[in-house]
Amino acid sequence: MKTTMMDQALSINHFLDRAGTLFKHNEIVSRLPDKTLVRHSYGQWHRRTLSLASALQRAGLQKGDRVATLCWNHHMHLEAYFGIPAAGGVMHTLNLRLSAEELGWIAADAKDRILIVDDVLLPLYLQMAALHAFERVIVFPFSGAPVPPEFTSYEAFIAEGDADGFTPVPHGEDEAIAICYTSGTTGRPKGVAYSHRSTVLHTLVGCLGDHWGLRGIDVVMPVTPMFHANSWGMPYGAVMVGAKLVFPGPHLHADDLLDLMQLEPPTLSLGVPTIWMSLIQTYERSLTEHPGRWKLPAGMRSLVGGAAVPESLIRAFDAHGIWIMQGWGMTETSPIATISYARAELKDASAEERYRRAAMAGVIAPLVELRLKTEEGLIAPWDGQTMGEVQVRGPFITGSYHEVPVTEDKFTADGWLRTGDVATLDDLGFLRITDRTKDLIKSGGEWISSVDVENALMAHPAVAEAAVIAIPDEKWSERPLACVVFKPGQNAPAEALNAHLISHGFAKWQCPERYEVIAAVPRTSTGKFWKLKLREMFPR
Amino acid sequence: MKTTMMDQALSINHFLDRAGTLFKHNEIVSRLPDKTLVRHSYGQWHRRTLSLASALQRAGLQKGDRVATLCWNHHMHLEAYFGIPAAGGVMHTLNLRLSAEELGWIAADAKDRILIVDDVLLPLYLQMAALHAFERVIVFPFSGAPVPPEFTSYEAFIAEGDADGFTPVPHGEDEAIAICYTSGTTGRPKGVAYSHRSTVLHTLVGCLGDHWGLRGIDVVMPVTPMFHANSWGMPYGAVMVGAKLVFPGPHLHADDLLDLMQLEPPTLSLGVPTIWMSLIQTYERSLTEHPGRWKLPAGMRSLVGGAAVPESLIRAFDAHGIWIMQGWGMTETSPIATISYARAELKDASAEERYRRAAMAGVIAPLVELRLKTEEGLIAPWDGQTMGEVQVRGPFITGSYHEVPVTEDKFTADGWLRTGDVATLDDLGFLRITDRTKDLIKSGGEWISSVDVENALMAHPAVAEAAVIAIPDEKWSERPLACVVFKPGQNAPAEALNAHLISHGFAKWQCPERYEVIAAVPRTSTGKFWKLKLREMFPR
């Protein structure tokens, strides 16, 4: 029996229209390169976005054509988020942390026709210019300086658009609106193409009360780059509910963020652990060095993800009244797959228990199916112990990569995405990532989770950062080696660190065989520990 | 350009699975006819639901077959919500407030094969039994009494099901899961068939922070009947997030609800204005007459809808720390179309202003498009003054009625639902319902069609003409008043006219509250009853 419901395609154009009419008074604040703030109402943003869409159409953009962005987080990037799809195009967010060579390769692979680039990022563009010929390069005068005459100015470009006369290009809900390349640690990056449908569904799931709990009265500060899985989808959510947005622009240093939080206190902020670590350290130092300089916004919620969030970081923020929620996901999952939140069953749990849960990847989100596949090919039980590869399925999970054949190392025969992460699931459905399939340490036939050892080491008072890798061992096949960054002026011998681990429940054989003191943990462009580099540094 | 996202159908079977695994410890509490409470975990409910689905399959249920329910709000009704669709069937919730004649007509129109009925509602079933032959009648022993031998006991029925061996029937996302009949307009009731897709989308929108703000730690008390637009979709939301449910069973009197709120304090409750009015009156009386007998749950949110919520009711609850949110919608809109919530722009508004807004129908929900069409066929501006018919469109708005041709009085040529309500929209997008295009009477949350009553009255031998209008009523919001013109030399007392109506299939509450004898029904120039004039003659 068929439904009587209307056959209405899901569309982010609906969010654009909605914000332009319902929320036209609300604000979008952007920090400029000179650190001043610029303000647009949603009404102004809506008109500028329609002008961009119209101008792209007039410039000959055809349905499905890719338009790349090489931009920081600001209002114009949000115009691209909605204006490019409204014109029928596909937004391709280029990651400005990548090398020029990688960027050129990615732009060529995606066949990007047009580039929109911040003027302050022109030097990066010029390095990659030879590797991919964009038909047109549109420069956003983010710094306020005049745009070099050889480029089109974004402001001049959209001034040619006709906001009033524009009608969004009709589309099916499965058509792409954005493409994002994964920063694979091995092999070439691969494109994931989000659709109207996947984006609308992901937005609705992200906004749920146990996740972002996003409301129209929220003030959202997305520190997570808009080129990282669409800033985890938050811009779509903010536009859907009409929340005020505060974009940090290029200023992501801890004191810049703390300054911005004084000017425009957010109720919700999001970023990666590295930045949040430096945020709390800078803030705590300021309490003695510059008392009263900053106040953390009272009651702010913080979403931290993109890499495992150590329990120590959650405790540090909680001491100042800020609760950190972590999620787990990847570019391939839009990205929300799990979020750690206070389940009803934990209402009367101890603080210890709540911290322990908060430091896990969290609970499976609605519309997402998740299973753990053991090495033996079985589905792992939810016992908190049995490890298996995380496999996911759902309407906002990728089922392939852009123009790449589907292979068994990425997708199972029955249609699940193989994430490459290894985890356990406990009785309450909390996922705990124990490792990457590639980073597990197998010692004497037993698994050692490098992530667990790292997190425990980072809870030691002298340790700033720790990354654990496997080194070959004749007897045990592999043994753990810990690369440790100490806090300034601090130190601890290997014996003390191992004693610390043992007092935290680790078996002696799980403790690192060797410690190496390093100045900083090398990181990938997305802020993750770059273990490949460490393995090169310490091959044995 | 196509998406790379998986092509995964939206399905409420996913919510069922999810609750059975993730939330298996959380509770579903039901109040029995003897007022005791029975508790099921979501885990137990999940198994019982799978057993029901399996038993329905074994009983020969085919895909798309209708299974009717005639039930109060309780755990078994929630089993039907998910078990019938899991078996491939379509749940048809029968409104136990309707007359037996209407119920029989509706069941026949929907071609219901099976009926699941509460034992305490068997007398109502027996009245309608002759009007539609269900193949099988399954009786839920809600009261605990033995099921009469001529019927199948629900418990015996599901005991035949195989929960472990059951697999949900595969489906497309546009297939129907539930059908609900409107009783809103002139003529016969019409069926609205919800799909997996519309239900999942409506659930996600309903759960948003500015709407229900539903979280796993919530305790939800749905007083709104599960046969009224699926209790506004709340049961699906509660199952999706794993919120505790507290069902009042048949006990909807104010003191029963207050008693239940002491036993199982809800964080979120929902019901119609009539019941909420009696709730606050009873509670306030108790403060002097039985001090300490009841306490309203601190911080409880309340959703009130189904009829306009008077500002006085919002103020009365607010005086006790409970904020009432009202929504507007109808069976045809799943039902959420608008919800009145505290927009960011109202953050610094006066209490007066906030009450005034709270007493409006509210702000258009995401995924819903709404416009006002004036009498001249123009789109009304958002000026808070221009009235127009409310027309809506969206993926959970009905585009037709079950097996009824699409007509222009119900749907516009460009595909919008004509709601029959007249309203204004103001600058902030707040909808205010000002009138109805048709002259319906809403009594205690239920529609009474004035035209139906008029037609039946005019069938009485003594009556020449009859026109029915709504008069305001404190308790029921509105009650019908009948203006009667007797044939020359004839007469009939009110009791006789009501007896005549009841013999023609009307329920007692649908009969006019009052009769006024008039010389002639005033008519418009086109010969239609001029109800405006009658309302002026009898304002109350």
Based on the fold, state whether residues A120 and A150 are members of the same structural domain: yes
Please say whether the beta carbons of B59 and B86 come within 8 A. no
Confidence grade of residue A40 (pLDDT, cut at 50, 70, 90): very high
Domain end residue (candidates: B230, B250, B270): B250
**Same structural domain, A373 and A510:** no
Please indicate, yes or no, whether residues A404 and A502 belong to a single structural domain of this protein. no
Domain count for chain B, please give it. 2
Give yes or no for residue A52 having a pLDDT over 90.
yes
Q: Does A201 touch chain B (CB under 8 A)?
A: yes
Query: Given its phi and psi angles, is residue A321 left (phi above 0), alpha (psi -120 to 50 degrees) or beta?
Result: left
Residue at B308 is within a domain: no
Same domain, A525 and A416: no
Looking up residue A182, the CATH number of its domain turns out to be 3.40.50.12780
B8·A395 Cβ contact <8 A? yes
Regarding whether A120 and A91 lie in a shared domain, the answer is yes
Q: Which residues touch A287 (CB under 8 Å, ≥6 apart)? A: none
| Residue where a domain stops, chosen among B216, B250, B284 | B250
Q: Is A138 a member of any domain? A: yes
Q: Summarize pLDDT for A254-283 with one digit per residue, the tens.
A: 999 999 999 999 999 999 888 998 999 999
Residue B436's pLDDT is: 66
- A71 and A195 fall within a common domain: yes
- Residue that finishes a domain, picked among B250, B276, B297: B250
The tokens for A170 are: 């009709």
Report the pLDDT value the prediction gives residue B527, as an integer from 0 to 100.
58
Q: Hey, which residues of B are catalytic here?
A: 182, 332, 442, 447
CATH of the domain at A391: 2.30.38.10
Q: How far apart are CA B226 and CA B231, in angstroms?
A: 4
Q: Residue B222 falls within a domain, yes or no?
A: yes
Cα B410 to Cα B190: distance, rounded to the nearest angstrom: 12
Q: What's the DSSP call for residue A346?
A: G
Q: Do A174 and B344 touch (CB under 8 A)?
A: no
Joined tokens for residue B504: 């023609």
**Is A344 in contact with B210 (Cβ distance < 8 A)?**
no
Residue B455's pLDDT is what? 79
| Structural domain contains residue A235 | no
Structural domain contains residue B530:
yes
Tell me if chain B has a CB within 8 Å of the CB of A344.
yes
Residues A406, A527 within the same domain: no
CA geometry: angle at B386 spanning B385 and B391, to 5°?
125
Interface probe with A: pick from B2, B4, B325, most Cβ of A within 10 Å: B4
| Any domain includes B365 | no
A29 at B interface, C-beta within 8 A: no
Stronger pLDDT, A179 or A342, i.e. the higher one: A179
Q: DSSP for B61-123?
A: PPTT-EEEEE--BSHHHHHHHHHHHHTT-EEEE--TTS-HHHHHHHHHHHT--EEEEEGGGHH
How far away is chain B from the Cα of A374, in angstroms, using its nearest Cα? 19
What pLDDT score does B444 carry?
84
pLDDT of B453: 87
**Is residue A244 annotated as a catalytic residue, yes or no?**
no
User: Does the beta carbon of B207 lie under 8 angstroms from any beta carbon of chain A?
Assistant: yes
Q: Do A4 and B200 touch (CB under 8 A)?
A: no
Q: Which residues of A, range 179-198, sit inside 8 Å of B by Cβ?
A: 191-195, 197-198
Taking only the tens place, the pLDDT of each residue in B207-220 is 999 999 999 999 99
Number of H helices, E strands in chain B: 16, 25
The reply to whether A426 and A502 lie within a common domain is no
Q: Which residue has the tokens 């980072």?
A: A458
Q: Name the percent of chain A lying above pLDDT 70.
A: 98
What DSSP line would sit under B312-365, residue for residue?
Answer: HHHHHHHTTT-EEEEEEE-GGGSSEEEE----GGGTT--HHHHHHHHTS-EEEP
Contact A395 B347 (CB under 8 A): no
Nearest to A210 by CA among A325, A87, A42: A325
Number of helices (H) and strands (E), helices first, in chain A? Answer: 16, 25
Angle among Cα A405, A407, A411 to the nearest 5 degrees reads: 115
DSSP 8-class letter at B26? S
Q: Do A450 and A425 share a structural domain?
A: no
Q: How many pairs of residues across A and B have Cβ atoms under 8 Å apart? A: 214
**Cα dihedral A333, A334, A337, A338 in deg (nearest 10):** 140
Query: Are the beta carbons of B184 and B378 closer than 8 angstroms?
Result: no
Q: Do both A490 and A398 map to the same domain?
A: no
**Strands lying side by side in the sheet with B136-140:** B152-153, B136-140, B114-118, B66-70, B90-93, B176-182, B190-195
Structure token digits, residue B195: 């799909």
Could you tell me the pLDDT band of residue A124, with boundaries at 50, 70 and 90?
A: very high
Distance from CA of A461 to the nearest CA of B (A): 35
Q: Nearest chain B Cα to A342, which residue? A: B217
pLDDT-based confidence at residue B448 (cuts at 50, 70, 90): confident
Shortest CA distance from A217: residue in chain B:
B344
Token couple for B452? 């139906």
Query: Residue B386 falls within a domain, yes or no?
Result: no
Reported residue count of chain A is: 540
Structure tokens at B16: 């069922």
Window 392-451 of B, Cβ < 8 Å to A? 393-402, 415, 417, 428-429
pLDDT, mean of residues A508-537: 86
Residue B185 has what pLDDT? Answer: 46
Mean pLDDT of A455-477: 88
User: Which of A87-101, A165-179, A297-311 has maximum average pLDDT?
Assistant: A165-179
Does residue A528 lie within any of the structural domains? Answer: yes
Q: What ipTM, to 2 d.p.?
A: 0.88
Chain A residues touching residue B216 (CB < 8 angstroms): 210, 341, 343-344
Provide CB contacts within 8 A for B167, sequence distance 6+: none
Is the pLDDT confidence value at B12 over 70?
Answer: yes
Render pLDDT for B44-79 as a digit per residue (tens, 0 to 9).
Answer: 999 999 999 999 999 999 999 999 999 999 999 999
Q: Which of A22, A176, A210 sits opposite B2 (nearest CB)?
A: A176
Digit-coded pLDDT (tens) for A505-515: 888 888 999 99
User: Hey, which residues does A178 pair with through a beta bridge?
Assistant: A91, A194
Which residue, A269, A204, A209, is CA-closest to A239? Answer: A204
Q: Are residues A113 and A161 in the same domain?
A: yes
Distance from CA of A72 to the nearest CA of B (A): 25
In angstroms, the CA B83 to CA A235 distance is 37
What CATH number did the domain enclosing B490 receive? 3.30.300.30
Q: How confident is the model at residue B439 (pLDDT cuts 50, 70, 90)?
A: low
For A401, the closest chain B residue by CA position comes to B4
Instruction: Kindly report, residue by residue over B282-314, the tens digit of the pLDDT.
Output: 999 999 999 999 999 999 999 998 877 878 889
Q: Whole domain around residue B489: which residue ranges?
A: 440-537
Residues A516, A373: one domain?
no
Confidence of residue A434 (pLDDT cuts 50, 70, 90): confident
User: Which one, of A36, A37, A105, A117, lies nearest residue A72 by Cα?
Assistant: A117
